[in-house]
Structure 1
Amino acid sequence: MKYETLFIMVRVAVHADHTSIAEIVNEVETQSKLSLTDTANVNILETEILLSRVRNIKNINHGKR
């Protein structure tokens, strides 16, 4: 069996009681769980949340000016 590292991007929309994005990110990174299961030919060895960027939906330009 070959060992590989796969990077899986996940988009997550949240509703939170926190007042700052930093608190939300911290809680998601430290307490949330991502679950993947083994398949017939692949054994999942480890998962971890990788957060590289946060954007505010209110600031997205939808092509309107």
Structure 2
Amino acid sequence: MRTAGCGIRRVLHRSRAPHRAPACPAAVIVFSGVPVLDVVFIVATLALFALVALVAKGVEKL
């Protein structure tokens, strides 16, 4: 499977030396995601399910 950005040859991070540039910068973007956003997404999903459960429980008591 090819990614859209594999033709680009540039360094995406300042901490990487130019001679150690990745072969495919798109792969670096995919695998170097921000873990905080992942946690926020998981917490938001759990909160949504809890809210739906509370509404369902309230409707059931009617």
Superposition TM-score tier, normalisation by shorter sequence: under 0.3
Task: Specify which structure has the bigger relative contact order, considering alpha-carbon pairs within 8 angstroms and separated by 6 or more residues.
Answer: 2
Decide which structure has greater helix share: 2
Larger-Rg structure:
2
